[in-house]
Amino acid sequence: MTNAQPSAQSDSHTDFLVIGAGSAGCVIARRLLDAGHTVRVVEAGGQDTNPDIDDVSRLGLLWGSPEDWNYFTEPEPELNNRKVHIPRGKVLGGSHALNATIWVRGDSWDYDSWAEQGCTGWSWDEVLPYYQAIEAYGDGDPHIRGQEGPLDITTDYPRHPIQASLYDATLQEGIPENKDYNDGSVEGVGWMQLNIRDGRRFNTWRAYLKPVADHPNLGLVTGAQARRLLIDSGTVTGAEFDTQGQTVTYTADEVVLSSGAIGSPELLLRSGVGPADHLREVGIEVELDHPGVGQNLHDHLLAPVVCTTQEQLPPQEVAVAQVHYWAKTSDDQPVPDTQPIFFSVPMYTNTAGMLMEGPEEGFSLLAGIVRPASRGSLTLSGPNPEDPVQIRLGAYTEKSDLEAMLYSLRQCRSIAAQPALQQWGAEELFPGPDVDDSDEALVEYIRNTTTTYHHQVGTCAMGVGEQAVVDPETLRVRGLNGLRVADASIMPQVTSGNTNAPSVLIGEKAAAAITGQEPF
């Protein structure tokens, strides 16, 4: 097989067709190749040649670039009807090419909760060996952390002085230190563990698939956007793609959909798999009435505390985000429900419902909630591929989420005023002195400035019951043969942290389910 751009003709049949070369898709493709299968991987984006991908400190330059799907939500009622930007990776590597490379497994409670909900095989003890097989992290407990896996994880990067001060200020706030938040308990403050090699971004494309890009059993296609699945009498036989103004069809014994929490449900819906009433409403023939497709969308949310400094900050190195912490809003929470993240640059919300601008010099404490109760949906606006998807996060539709963000925002303001930051002459710019500590003032600020943490999940959730889209043990789509979904969309509820590591885990679990070969 060749690794060429697609032609207008249907290419040779393969054992597997993987749609999407992101965090999970690259893992699956590599493991299938290792097991002796023929594999075609089709990615809508192009090669990862943009130098901003390498330099994690320039990740903001990738948002709105050709490597970004550049989605926006519908007007969010609880965000003063603002549309929120949803950047997603459209490039080899997927969103792992656009993110801050933060490696967070989540809390053991997250996985045990999945298992308790009927997701057999997903408890903490069951996923732990998969994580160990993924990781190359030399600083952790070898009984808990992986040391010889393909994906580099490190805290050995140049630490920015303002990040060190933020770390100390968090300790002064009374937050405990957590030397390894990936040991099953996230609570506390820690230095971020990043996917970096030689100072450059290192994602699953570069760790798993790029080293075997010339494999004779691999067909790697870029610049081809999936339009619909081919379904014959309840069996998925391949998919149709648009590329360079032409249509091309690829067939396989089995299709693995790894297009992410937005792309995967979109393709299912465009193929007639989803809530029947919605499909008929937008003019799509129903292949399978699946009420859970596109439902259960949820995301972590952020709200910024932006500070200026009287002292000049050193230039950025490697990563602009290096410190984060987890905290409970109350002692009766089973695990932390907030995860603020610190940036050594001012993070002005570009879709704010207020004027939000200021000097380039400064830093940010982004208040964050990571156990949202609110749920939204992804739907279609019409039957044609050009008709955009409709993304509704449903942000703050549950009052408990707003209360958690209030707690986190107040805590971040308090940290910003701690002595450790006074050596820089730190002054709060946003919310700023005009926003007092009343619930009313802070809630209005939150509604005007909340943005996504970029952790959308849940739109093809695994589990049991009518709303479950995929089977937890096989990741097969219920009611169809020949199709599995493996990406962040299958998470029944979001983990208590950044979602890239769980997405890589999902790739490994999917590959093991297909091949019967565990990576350990």
Per-residue model confidence as pLDDT tens digits over 69-114: 999 999 999 999 999 999 999 999 999 999 999 999 999 999 999 9
With residues binned 3-state (H G I as helix, E B as strand, rest as coil), the percentages for the chain, rounded to 5, are 25, 25, 50
User: pLDDT at position 317, please?
Assistant: 80
Is 454 known to be catalytic? no
> Among residues 215, 278, 324, 455, which one is catalytic?
455
User: pLDDT at position 7, please?
Assistant: 43
Distance between CA atoms of residues 378 and 96, nearest Å: 22
What pairing do the DSSP bridges indicate for beta strands 301-308 and 451-452?
antiparallel
Instruction: Burial-class residue 36 by CB neighbours within 10 Å (0-12, 13-18, 19+).
Output: exposed
Q: What is the mean pLDDT of each run of 10 residues along the chain (520 residues)?
A: 50 93 99 98 98 93 95 98 97 97 99 98 99 97 97 96 98 98 99 97 98 98 98 98 95 99 99 99 98 99 97 89 98 98 92 89 97 99 96 99 99 98 97 98 98 97 97 99 99 99 99 97
- Which of 166, 191, 164 shows the shortest CA–CA distance to 418? 166
User: pLDDT at position 318, please?
Assistant: 87
User: pLDDT at position 3, please?
Assistant: 52
Q: Was 453 annotated as part of a binding site?
A: yes
The CA-atom distances, in angstroms, between 129 and each of 126, 149, 519 are: 7, 11, 9
Contact by Cβ (8 Å): 219, 41: yes
Instruction: Burial-class residue 245 by CB neighbours within 10 Å (0-12, 13-18, 19+).
Output: exposed
User: pLDDT at position 35, please?
Assistant: 98
Please work out, in degrees rounded to the nearest 5, the angle formed at the alpha carbon of residue 159 by the alpha carbons of 177 and 363: 85
CATH of domain 1-107+203-296+456-519: 3.50.50.60
CB atoms inside a 10 Å sphere around CB 384: 12
CATH architecture of the domain with range 157-191+298-374+396-449:
2-Layer Sandwich (3.30)
User: pLDDT at position 76, please?
Assistant: 98
How many alpha carbons lie under 13 Å from residue 196 in its C-beta half-sphere? 20
Distance between CA atoms of residues 297 and 73, nearest Å: 12
Distance between CA atoms of residues 314 and 359, nearest Å: 15
Count, in order, helices (H) and strands (E) of the chain: 11, 25
Q: Where are the domains of the chain?
A: 1-107+203-296+456-519, 157-191+298-374+396-449
Q: Was 91 annotated as part of a binding site?
A: yes
Per-residue model confidence as pLDDT tens digits over 245-270: 999 999 999 999 999 999 999 999 99
- Which of 351, 378, 374 shows the shortest CA–CA distance to 292? 378
User: pLDDT at position 5, please?
Assistant: 52
